[in-house]
Chains A and B, each alone.
Chain A
Amino acid sequence: MTIELPLVFAVLMGIAILAYVVLDGYDLGVGMLMLAADEREQSTMVASIGPFWDANETWLVLGIGLLLVAFPSAHGIVLGALYVPVFVMLIGLMLRGVAFEFRVKAEGWHRGLWNWLFWLGSFVASLAQGLMLGHYITGFEPGFGYFLFALAVAGGLCGGYVLLGATWLILKSDGELQRKAVAWTRWGLLWIAAGIALVSIATPIASATVRNRWFDFPHTFAAMLLPLASAAVWLWLWCLTAQLKHGRRVAEWAPFAGAVAIFTLAFAGLAYSLFPYLVIDRMTIWEAAAHPTALAVVLVGALIVLPAIAGYTVFSYRVFRGKAPAKLYD
């Protein structure tokens, strides 16, 4: 039996990118909500992501690392075409990464400045990631129309991150901040609904490949399961947050789990639309794959190491379970 190495790596890379989007997504979302909170709440918000943000961001490095390791020729095409948004994202990630450490140690107006930079960095990084996704879906076609489309995707992704961040805060905070988080969640839900609707209408217009894929009867009926499931989760979250709003007790992890489910479904939809292309209409995963010897040596390592990573990630989330403290360093 031969192992389909390129396929295995496409799946691994997909998992890494989804893990990144969900994990760094919630802390980017918390960052984007910073300006909507007061000073005390800001400290709790930062404390809620303090032990995790660094490991969260590592998934981005793994995702890009797998692209580089497993699909070296696509790596150059993708990153070359995305030169500008990648660079903007990096500046954003740098800003928020250091602002995160600096704001804790600063006092007075310095802290206000770092809070603002933390917000700005989170927002710029999220927006740039959305632009990257938008350009990627349309195969890096130039033109103003495609740019507008990418901008719409970027808006949608920001909304999604805000949703993840707000539901994370429902889990990690209580009192006034939690009440605010419930309201933010509902805003995020409306935002993401508009975003997904817009993108779902625009994508088949922007890309012929996606259009054919979506309207290929009878496969369309199977593919329709994804948006239907998303809509169901969305409704469930809407009702759940309505209950929270009226002070009824519900499981506090449920909204976050719902937000993760929406992301996972959207991601599955994206994978369905693109497969087997790595660069749409140009390069399949088999065409882009690295030499089997290189893939095999990484796969062996990944199979040994990934369970260990999963293990100590769970350990870390267990150590820091429960409500976030009011201060990061006690």
Chain B
Amino acid sequence: MQEALVLARAQFGLNIAFHILFPAISIGLAWILVYFRARYERTGERTWLEPYRLWTKIFALTFAMGVVTGITMSFQFGTNWPGFMNKVGNVAGPLLGYEVLTAFFLEATFLGVMLFGMNRVPGWLHLISTVLVAVGTTLSAFWILALNSWMHTPAGHAHADGQLVAADWLQVIFNPSFPYRMTHMLLASGLTACFFLAGLSAWRLLKAPGDASALRTLRTGVVVAAVLAPTQALVGDLHGLNTLEHQPAKLAAIEALWETERGAPLVLFAVPNQLERRNDYAIEIPKAASLILGHDLDAEIKGLNEFAPDIPPVTPVFFSFRVMVGTGLLMIGVAWFGSWCLRGGALPPRWLLRTFAGFTFLGWIATLAGWMVTEIGRQPWLVTGVLRTADAVGPASGAHLGSSLTAYIITYALMLVAYLVVLTHLAGKGGAPQADAKAVAWQGSAA
């Protein structure tokens, strides 16, 4: 049973981690495409059309990866966690149902129009289709985060016959952590998309310095990131205070604070030792945690001792939080410095382009680290205070789970490699369609 639990968690964890990579790009990228499409509609300039066409293809690719891995998740609820639906299905089910009804069909249908309908519908209708795809991806995030936040900070529910039912849907959806989580995730996606856009554009510029469209998309990515990155730091801080209020055990794990303390230090680095309940090799700023979280040098911060034995594994939460914050600070630095270098519209130096190209997937690191903080930090609960992860696991045998986990790993690895290969191929080709180049050559030879 223990083995099956570990394997089921590994499988679902792998799936959700692989899945989140693609929505993390596509939610933000969808709105960037709206911007490109609207600019083209107003100006009629090729340097807006070319990036639009190129990036819709990249969007389609990313979206397809998100769709197929998302379908897998919807089935794994049943195959791996039947206890989840049995216990909280009356609350979770409708939220997932609304996601399919309001978001999935919208984005999938208008994606077809957006990708292939440019010459079949009027420009304004095509612009609206692009907007609807973006609305769909955001709505999808809305419902999923409503459910996810509810699992962290459940509200608005009642107990009936061993199951949970919703007593107040508005309280369920707008549960205490939802506004923070939603904003934090949307900004994360915006940042991931910006660095992705800037990185691939920089890569293109390294190969073809004269590509005006690529320079434009590079600037768009860097400038928008420069605005979003500090905003994210602010929202992240508010989210942290929300966690302190509603999930103090998770916060204690983030801070690796073993005992309740007044004037708690901020642990910059340490190796948490869960067996002996202390931090090895700690580097600390005295009283800083109390100051940041309690706005008082001697504020009391609850330690993990208050919540034992229901405490999350401290080490992964502690480290992924530091990776997330570190990556976030790096993003602020890179985006601000890059914006300053890119002012005036001149071609940036090659070392700067290489830097951006190197940071193409920086958003993935931050997003994955953030998800690990929040999801591992919720353990051992699946729904805080309501349902333990161990009580939701299904009857699938360790052998089934093990072999399918292996197959998932192989499939995902192949898909990721293929995705990156096609991505670099597309980005390397740039926005100008190849067919155009051939057509020009052909006309030239005829004349």
Contacts and interface: CB of A to CB of B under 8 A. Distances in A.
Contact of B79 (A50, A65, A83, A297): A83
Contact of B78 (A54, A57, A76): A76
A66 interface: yes
A106 B351 CA distance: 30
A56 B63 CA distance: 15
A52 B396 CA distance: 35
B439 interface: no
A314 to B, nearest CB: 10
Interface string B394-429: 111000100010011001000100110010011000
Interface in A251-276: none
Interface in B68-121: 68-72, 74-75, 77-79, 82-83, 85-86, 89-91, 93-94, 96-98, 100-102, 104-106, 108-113, 115-117, 119-121
Nearest to B93: A69
Interface stretch (B30-38, B159-167, B180-188, B242-250): B159-167
Interface in B147-169: 160, 163, 165-166, 169
Given A72-B85, A305-B102, A297 B109 contact: no
Contacts of B94: 69, 294, 297-298, 301
B71 A60 contact: yes
B65 interface: yes
A309 B108 CA distance: 11
Interface in B319-363: none
B67 A54 contact: yes
Given A61-B100, A105-B426, A329-B116, A291 B79 contact: no
Contacts of A76: 78, 82-83, 85-86, 394
Contacts of B104: 58, 61-62
A289 to B, nearest CB: 11
B58 to A, nearest CB: 10
A64 B60 contact: no
Nearest to B81: A76
Given A55-B112, A105-B426, A301-B102, 18 more contacts: A51-B112, A54-B67, A57-B67, A69-B94, A72-B90, A75-B78, A91-B407, A97-B68, A98-B68, A98-B418, A101-B422, A294-B90, A298-B93, A298-B94, A302-B97, A312-B110, A315-B109, A319-B117
29 contacts: A51-B112, A54-B64, A60-B71, A61-B100, A64-B78, A65-B93, A66-B97, A68-B93, A69-B97, A72-B90, A83-B396, A83-B400, A84-B404, A87-B407, A90-B75, A91-B408, A94-B72, A98-B64, A98-B68, A101-B61, A102-B61, A106-B422, A301-B97, A302-B97, A312-B106, A315-B109, A316-B110, A319-B113, A330-B119
